[in-house]
A and B are shown apart, each in its own frame.
Chain A
């Protein structure tokens, strides 16, 4: 049975759109709004992360507190913005760390080849076989709670896929005639790597980095939710959701819902933006949202 024409969304050229027309503007607006919020709000409204006001606890959203207050009287909106700021910081730094490590390992394995390549990739396989979160928990458990252990934990567990992507790309570039031409022209290994191979993999590595940001944010939240990430008084989306679990059962939905939205919307927006970028650099593959 065919789908009724009215239900099919098509462009005038007859291609299924799946909302592609709105994807770029919507996701870039969302990312811009998030960036503005996390930069401007802390400049305008300072937050004392230790302060509580028990006379003001669990107020439903109102004009004074648009997202309501939590079970110790803290403004949910303000803590959401501060939490998102920490999450973004962790996400970006961890994604960059993971991408730098992954690119270095993948490019080295691909460029050197042979036995080194096989050994490095087997190590990558071994680490990939352990769930990321478990490995991450192992790493944070070795430090006092704080931002940097989380960054290290997420960064050190997420370079594996980037290493695979970069290695595959380097292997395909390495067999091209222009690399042969460079070798014949007297180029050293280093020069071939830096001048001919690395520039070729940078778009893929950059894309992997952007796709990694939402993933890293989710990992940060997951670690905080498990009580292993940031110190419990710090405003972090994971901490907020964890704190609000009890109140949700009592029917107070706002301390859970808003941090949840703050987690989902920016990460979807970043992933969607990365999806648009991926379509641009590899137009033949259909991009699917990858988190």
Chain B
């Protein structure tokens, strides 16, 4: 039996923002077709960086990314458009991920317009908004006129507009309440069952990711070769409860 190539494969990725101290070191990850993988780890261990590498938005110092068995040939604008758009991304903070000057309709239609499918953009915006449970009355509003949850729904619709084979959700629900979280997870799952897309869900909510995903991966934190947390001598002026004698939870 020939095995279909994984939808997303990261091989020995080393990435970060300072070459001498990369956040992600030699990390490999495979997400098969139709599979949902959760990526867990404490804050600052490079989950989001790895997610950006997977979406070809951040150039790693080393390692390769393969989409559907084909190696990515560049990063950001240098990546071929077909490879870039094969990965849909939802970011943690909808306020930052939405251009404040666009209406929600323009926001959702943005990828369709950017890829030159203007007619399709007009036709499908309403349908996309409906699929994420966004009322058509909200489509004329701008990001500051809607709630975080509504905006995140629009951002999810934008990520789904080009029907990506892989969906990367970078702490998609971290800013949201339980019912919106449930609604968005349902939307993602409906999309995945209808298209067979793969999912890489990044987060620190273990309960959610373990119930949502087929398997979860633990991001090795600083212990596994990463830069050690900088130890600092206690300040001469001690703060009650934070001094050297205070019990540490680390």
Binding site for B on A (CB under 8 A): 176-178, 180-189, 191-192, 195-196, 199-200
Asked if B37 is at the interface (CB within 8 A of a chain A CB), the reply is no
A186 and B85 form a contact (CB under 8 A): yes
Query: Contacts A177-B96, A182-B114, A196-B99 hold; do A189 and B77 have CB atoms under 8 A apart?
Result: yes
B114 and A186 form a contact (CB under 8 A): yes
- Rounded to whole angstroms, the CA-CA distance of A192 and B111 in the bound complex is 11
Asked if B46 is at the interface (CB within 8 A of a chain A CB), the reply is no
User: Which of B23-31, B86-94, B175-183, B225-233 binds A?
Assistant: B86-94
A177 and B91 form a contact (CB under 8 A): yes
Tally of contacts, chain A with chain B, CB under 8 A: 67
Query: Contacts A184-B88, A185-B162 hold; do A177 and B97 have CB atoms under 8 A apart?
Result: yes
Which 6 pairs between the two chains have the least Cβ-Cβ distance? Answer: A185-B111, A187-B114, A177-B97, A186-B85, A177-B96, A186-B115
B76 and A186 form a contact (CB under 8 A): no
- Rounded to whole angstroms, the CA-CA distance of A195 and B98 in the bound complex is 13
- Rounded to whole angstroms, the CA-CA distance of A145 and B145 in the bound complex is 55
CB distance from A196 to the nearest CB of B (A): 5
List, in ascending order, chain A residues with CB within 8 A of B98's CB: 178, 181
**16 A–B pairs (Cβ distance < 8 Å), ordered by A:** A177-B91, A177-B93, A178-B98, A178-B99, A180-B57, A180-B89, A181-B91, A181-B159, A183-B76, A184-B57, A184-B84, A184-B85, A184-B88, A185-B158, A185-B162, A199-B101
Binding site for A on B (CB under 8 A): 52, 55-57, 76-77, 81, 84-85, 87-89, 91, 93, 96-99, 101, 110-111, 114-115, 155, 158-159, 161-162
Extra inter-chain contacts (13) besides given A180-B55, A183-B77, A184-B84, CB under 8 Å: A177-B91, A178-B96, A180-B57, A182-B99, A182-B110, A184-B87, A184-B111, A184-B159, A185-B158, A186-B85, A192-B77, A196-B99, A199-B101
CB distance from A82 to the nearest CB of B (A): 42
- Rounded to whole angstroms, the CA-CA distance of A187 and B57 in the bound complex is 12
B101 and A200 form a contact (CB under 8 A): yes
